[in-house]
A and B are shown apart, each in its own frame.
Chain A
Amino acid sequence: MEPQIKQQEEEEEEEGEERSNPQNLLWVFTLSTTLKLLLIPSYHSTDFEVHRHWLALTSSLPLHQWYTDTTSQWTLDYPPLFAYFERLLALLAPLFDPRIAHLRHGLHYAAHAAVLFQRLSVIASDLCLLYGCHVLGKNVGPWRRADFMWALLLLSPALLLVDHVHFQYNGFLIGWLLVSLSAVEEGRDLVGGFVFAVLLCFKHLFAVAAPVYFVYFLRHYCWRKGGGGGGVIGGFGRLLKMGFVVGVVFGVAFGPFFYHGQLIWDVRLCCCCCCSSPSEADFTISQAYFICVLSIRLELVPRASLMRAVQIKAVLSRMFPFGRGLCHAYWAPNFWVFYIILDKVLAVLLTKLGFSIPASSASFTGGLVGESSSFAVLPKITPLVTFLLVLFAMSPCLIKIWREPRPRLITRWVAYAYTCGFLFGWHVHEKASLHFVIPLAIVATESLADARHYFLLSIVSCYSLFPLLFEAKEYPIKVLLLLLYSLLMWSGFTQLRKFQTSTSSVKKGDKERSRKGTGGTKEEGGGTLIGWVGMSYLLGLLVVEIWGQFLQPYLLGDRFPFLPLMLISVYCAVGIMYSWLWQLRWILKCP
């Protein structure tokens, strides 16, 4: 370990300032901004109207009606901080067009001014992402290349497609995540915890990584491994401190709603958020226990008339869409895809063998969002099962963190947690893949193996987002963006490989390094970056795409309209599963 660190330091001196030149960051960011500006007139999904309505909602109604109003079907389903954020944006909207933020007249308003304003708000909020990149760039060591990392983060086609075409604020949210990760990496746990709590109050779906944060803080911040810092008592002191910080965040976010006496649902919402969040919140004794209780209860909620107001039910079920089925209309490429396919295959087989199987053939392929899913043969999956499965998948990582909480690995752990959530979670949306792909971009430049993994994963996850943008006009955009990014990664990683092999051969003194270097080149299988298996898998994507876009309409006509999407889901699910296993292996093998 020691000689390595020494060498790293040497290198740092050598290459010094160039490594994280803020000018370069600004350059890359501005470049991506020009792309975003050019994307303004492209297609936007219903999320555009959703966010526009929230602008109107938060600016024209008093606070206590925000979560109960039903003027539009797009009720507010993000936690309060995001609502405040929308309120803030709504202050600027009249500068462009007062109708944007009008509760009734603004409904489905998508004039040029409205589009411009909303698009610009996304572009401006990406400054948060810029800040995240900046702080991450500060603590890159020789093991990361800041310039290239920034390019990977800021030019990510998935992020561009989801935020600047489809319309969402993921760049802004992921910016917070990056800031939090960077603070933890630097050892400033309290700041990291604070920022993560803020993030949770912006969007609760980020809570999947809460167990990782919780265990990490417990072991790294409160009771350090190997004692020190005042022992058990000091640990409790720090636990209280962290709890206080997080509590303040949640208090600020949810407090006003308490004050206005939206008792029933606010208490519940608060519970939901605090429980499913985390972690560092000391007033939840055992978060796992709470979530279990919660998910069981939520199942009961719709049936038992515990809740009086209908809209309250709607809000809750929107925030935690347990009523919406295991899979989204378009299946996110996760584990459940295989489960469904297996069920279908078994159903067909068993029917052929003479068993009578209740027909439910269109339950998934019908494309309906609502309705709980039912399986013909395999046991029904409940939210609780998915929850336990996620936790189970995460457990090796949690144990690893418990044993040795290392700041430098937090990014990988968090990414792994999101991967688990994505693969095994309930009603996962394909856009959730951003949560782990973007953080993995940070570590992609650390080693060749990481680069190879990221190359594959980012292409697959971006490709799995293609069905989001289904209009012909956007087709060249998504293809070109992905192609550009792949080429960028390809040439970047090739350079990285050249550099690594050259340094490893130059610095023969360091045995460990040179061993790594040669090992790396051997694995590559002569010349290609990702080897022939990875390459043929990626070429398979091309086949899937050509089938779905061109061959299917000619060969099959209108039959099996769901087939192309299903193929994409299944094929991408293989890649994501591989990524999960790869990450798991990495985490387990990491000394």
Chain B
Amino acid sequence: MEKRRKSTAPSSSSSSKKRDGEDNAHSHDTLHQPTSPLLCVIVFAVLIRYLVSLHPYSGAADPPKYGDYEAQRHWMEITLNLPAKDWYRNSTSNDLTYWGLDYPPLTAYQSYVHARFLEFFDPESVALVTSRGHESPLGKFLMRLTVLSSDLVIFFPAALWFVFAYYGGRSRIGREELLWHLSLVLLNPGLILIDHGHFQYNCISLGLTVAAVAAIFVEKDLVGSFLFCLALNHKQMSAYYAPAFFSYLLGKCFKHQNPILKVTKLGLVVLGTFLLIWWPYVYPLKGAMEVLRRLAPFERGIYEDYVANFWCTTSILIKWKRLYSMQFLKLLSFSMTLLSVLPSMVQQIRSPSRQGFLFAMLNSSLSFYLFSFQVHEKTILLPLLPGSLLALDEPLMFQWFMNYALFSMFPLLRRDQLLIPYVALYVLFVLLYYCPFRKQDTSGRGSVNGWKTSVMALFLLCSLLLHLIYLTLKPPEKYPFLFEAMIMLLCFSQFVFLAIYSNVKQWTLPSRFTWIEKKKVL
């Protein structure tokens, strides 16, 4: 953001017309511009992350189960002190009912590495059993540092790579636009609040996903699939993107002279990666099954709390949990998810394109969020990511999405006492979005007609009011979760609109973005 100011401050004050000409002339060497504005964005993003991390984490001083912070710390404790075989197995020292590991092995390895780091500075915080519920300022500082460093090592380079890969081929995009997009990706308030406030490591799996996208955009499909497999093995939720990756890569293979060979190569990479990561559990196969069972916690029911998805919202009318068996619900949610993902998959298999791929990622992850089994509020981060990757192509959609994504997490963040960072980052997002120091290129953007804006404004007003109501009023005793339900309803309706909009968008992409056209240009 700053960089935009300083970069434009002089140029806007200079006779802007003259500079425009200059800019166009130089736009092709976007990548060779001075790096200080870029560094500005990066340092600012790091600063904001660190500042958010000063605030409380989920379950702070809240025994007996605490929150995600304790879960992550507990995994470090387990992975540090037990052999890999026992990580997912119930035993006297590993009580699976107390935050048992329920993410794939890569998360476990990451916990192990971080545990070594914590052990070095503060061994008490990762001691077996005795460290349960350990909370100390030093422990918090170190834990926060592990998230920050993961973010810096994985998400930041991935985002940079993506931005350069995505715009590398487009000569029309100026440096300012590129920086603007980068800052929106890096300063995604949802991601920062959950990772550095609430406490999780989404930056790793999302970062790996972004890196996979970037790799695929620079035509390194094998690297891309390797990276995506890593993401899958860090958080199984990355599977929300799997349909998009699958169909885009498949579609690309079909355009290849030798599709069979290409598919085989990709398949081998995927298999190899999985084998590598699951090595400690491959033999005997029982071990792998144990892990798998941990990863799919069906016993937790089809929905939890007040998540703005289909199941939870419709449960106001239809009591899914009471009316149907678990088996039936599993099947139902699976088929509904698949059904809703199908159109975007078909589109990508037929005519794979970069932008279409990003839309497909958005559509499939949004479908999963809306229809799949056991979704959490935080899962909205997954659809939000491709939304942010599309920010320059679809700024309005991204802003719209961000408003409700944040709002849907508002009750959760409020419970974590993250109200101040929530407000600050929300405002920061709005500021970035309306950055006055950015020369707006209005030509490429469809003008929004009046009624659309007024409807959007009306919904935004509703969300603002609900924010205030939620903060100030006490719900009636008969319905203690009335406001949560209202928030859920509003967000759900917006997400459904959004899903429809982005599906339509994906199918009506201008032909110049399709694969064949691009090849000709190249």
**Which residues of A are in contact with B by a Cβ distance under 8 Å?**
14-15, 18-19, 21, 23-24, 27-28, 30-31, 33-35, 37-42, 145, 147-148, 151, 155, 472-473, 476-477, 480-481, 483-484, 487-488, 490-492, 494-496, 498-499, 502-503
B427 & A18 in contact (Cβ 8 Å cutoff): no
- Tell yes or no: B469 within 8 A of A by CB: no
Q: Known interface pairs A21-B436, A473-B141, A491-B36. Does A147 touch B47 (Cβ–Cβ under 8 Å)? A: no
- Tell yes or no: B428 within 8 A of A by CB: yes
Q: A488-B2, A495-B10 are in contact. List 8 more A-B contacts (CB 8 A).
A: A15-B14, A31-B1, A34-B424, A34-B431, A147-B8, A155-B2, A487-B37, A492-B10
B13 & A24 in contact (Cβ 8 Å cutoff): no
Nearest Cβ in chain B — how far from A275, in angstroms?
43
Nearest Cβ in chain A — how far from B186, in angstroms?
14
B437 & A24 in contact (Cβ 8 Å cutoff): yes
- CB within 8 Å of A: which B408-440 residues: 420-421, 423-425, 427-428, 431, 434-437
1/0 per residue, CB under 8 A from A, across B240-263: the answer is 000000000000000000000000
- In Å, the complex CA distance between A24 and B6 comes to 12
Q: Known interface pairs A30-B427, A31-B431, A34-B428. Does A145 touch B10 (Cβ–Cβ under 8 Å)? A: yes
B10 & A498 in contact (Cβ 8 Å cutoff): yes
Q: Known interface pairs A38-B51, A155-B2. Does A499 touch B43 (Cβ–Cβ under 8 Å)? A: no
- In Å, the complex CA distance between A476 and B423 comes to 22
Nearest Cβ in chain B — how far from A504, in angstroms?
12
B423 & A37 in contact (Cβ 8 Å cutoff): yes
Interchain CB contact (< 8 A) of B424 among A27, A38, A492, A503 = A38
B14 & A27 in contact (Cβ 8 Å cutoff): no
- In order of increasing CB-CB distance, the 3 nearest A-B pairs are A492-B6, A38-B51, A491-B36
Greatest chain A CB density within 10 A among B6, B50, B437 is at B6
- In Å, the complex CA distance between A37 and B36 comes to 26
Chain B residues within 8 Å of A24, by CB: 5, 436-437
Interchain CB contact (< 8 A) of A484 among B2, B10, B54, B436 = B2
- In Å, the complex CA distance between A21 and B46 comes to 29
Interchain CB contact (< 8 A) of B12 among A18, A27, A488 = A18
Chain B residues within 8 Å of A472, by CB: 141
Shortest Cβ distance from A119 into B: residue: B420
Chain A residues within 8 Å of B137, by CB: 473
Nearest Cβ in chain A — how far from B152, in angstroms?
12
B13 & A18 in contact (Cβ 8 Å cutoff): yes
Shortest Cβ distance from B138 into A: residue: A472
- In Å, the complex CA distance between A166 and B8 comes to 33
Shortest Cβ distance from B22 into A: residue: A502
Shortest Cβ distance from A491 into B: residue: B36
Q: List 12 A-B contacts (CB under 8 A).
A: A15-B16, A23-B436, A24-B436, A27-B434, A27-B435, A28-B5, A147-B9, A487-B2, A488-B6, A491-B37, A495-B6, A499-B14
- In Å, the complex CA distance between A60 and B259 comes to 83
Chain B residues within 8 Å of A30, by CB: 427, 431
- In Å, the complex CA distance between A37 and B51 comes to 9
**Which residues of B are in contact with A by a Cβ distance under 8 Å?**
1-3, 5-16, 34, 36-37, 39-40, 43-44, 46-48, 50-52, 54-55, 137, 141, 420-421, 423-425, 427-428, 431, 434-437
B427 & A38 in contact (Cβ 8 Å cutoff): no
Nearest Cβ in chain B — how far from A471, in angstroms?
9
Nearest Cβ in chain B — how far from A551, in angstroms?
19
Chain A residues within 8 Å of B34, by CB: 491, 494
- In Å, the complex CA distance between A24 and B9 comes to 10
Shortest Cβ distance from A36 into B: residue: B424
Chain B residues within 8 Å of A18, by CB: 12-13, 16
Chain B residues within 8 Å of A151, by CB: 2, 5-6, 9
Interchain CB contact (< 8 A) of B3 among A38, A40, A491, A498 = A491
Chain A residues within 8 Å of B3, by CB: 488, 491
- In Å, the complex CA distance between A498 and B26 comes to 15
Nearest Cβ in chain A — how far from B281, in angstroms?
38
Nearest Cβ in chain A — how far from B1, in angstroms?
6
Shortest Cβ distance from A40 into B: residue: B420
Nearest Cβ in chain A — how far from B244, in angstroms?
34
B40 & A15 in contact (Cβ 8 Å cutoff): no
Chain B residues within 8 Å of A39, by CB: 51, 54
Interchain CB contact (< 8 A) of B10 among A148, A155, A473, A480 = A148
- In Å, the complex CA distance between A498 and B36 comes to 15
Q: Known interface pairs A155-B2, A494-B36. Does A34 touch B427 (Cβ–Cβ under 8 Å)? A: yes
Shortest Cβ distance from A498 into B: residue: B10
Q: Known interface pairs A31-B428, A34-B428, A472-B141. Does A487 touch B5 (Cβ–Cβ under 8 Å)? A: no
Shortest Cβ distance from A502 into B: residue: B14
Chain A residues within 8 Å of B436, by CB: 21, 23-24, 27
Greatest chain B CB density within 10 A among A39, A41, A42 is at A41
Q: Known interface pairs A148-B9, A473-B137, A484-B44. Does A35 touch B14 (Cβ–Cβ under 8 Å)? A: no
B141 & A495 in contact (Cβ 8 Å cutoff): no
Q: Known interface pairs A18-B13, A472-B141. Does A491 touch B40 (Cβ–Cβ under 8 Å)? A: yes
- In Å, the complex CA distance between A480 and B43 comes to 7
- In Å, the complex CA distance between A99 and B430 comes to 36
Chain A residues within 8 Å of B424, by CB: 34-35, 37-38
- In Å, the complex CA distance between A15 and B47 comes to 34
B5 & A490 in contact (Cβ 8 Å cutoff): no
Chain B residues within 8 Å of A31, by CB: 1, 428, 431
Shortest Cβ distance from A147 into B: residue: B9
Nearest Cβ in chain B — how far from A573, in angstroms?
28
A484 & B43 in contact (Cβ 8 Å cutoff): yes
Shortest Cβ distance from A19 into B: residue: B13
Nearest Cβ in chain A — how far from B194, in angstroms?
16
- In Å, the complex CA distance between A147 and B438 comes to 13
- In Å, the complex CA distance between A19 and B420 comes to 33
B13 & A145 in contact (Cβ 8 Å cutoff): yes
- In Å, the complex CA distance between A313 and B434 comes to 55
Shortest Cβ distance from B417 into A: residue: A112
A14 & B10 in contact (Cβ 8 Å cutoff): no
Interchain CB contact (< 8 A) of B6 among A41, A42, A477, A491 = A491
- In Å, the complex CA distance between A33 and B9 comes to 20
- In Å, the complex CA distance between A23 and B5 comes to 13
- In Å, the complex CA distance between A148 and B3 comes to 11
A38 & B9 in contact (Cβ 8 Å cutoff): no
B12 & A34 in contact (Cβ 8 Å cutoff): no
Chain A residues within 8 Å of B37, by CB: 487, 491
- In Å, the complex CA distance between A14 and B18 comes to 11
A14 & B51 in contact (Cβ 8 Å cutoff): no
Shortest Cβ distance from B137 into A: residue: A473
- In Å, the complex CA distance between A199 and B11 comes to 36
Shortest Cβ distance from A472 into B: residue: B141
Chain B residues within 8 Å of A41, by CB: 54-55, 420
B39 & A15 in contact (Cβ 8 Å cutoff): no
A495 & B11 in contact (Cβ 8 Å cutoff): yes
Chain A residues within 8 Å of B7, by CB: 491, 495
B431 & A492 in contact (Cβ 8 Å cutoff): no
Chain A residues within 8 Å of B10, by CB: 145, 148, 492, 495-496, 498-499
Q: Known interface pairs A155-B2, A487-B43, A495-B7. Does A37 touch B420 (Cβ–Cβ under 8 Å)? A: yes
Shortest Cβ distance from B12 into A: residue: A18
- In Å, the complex CA distance between A35 and B50 comes to 11
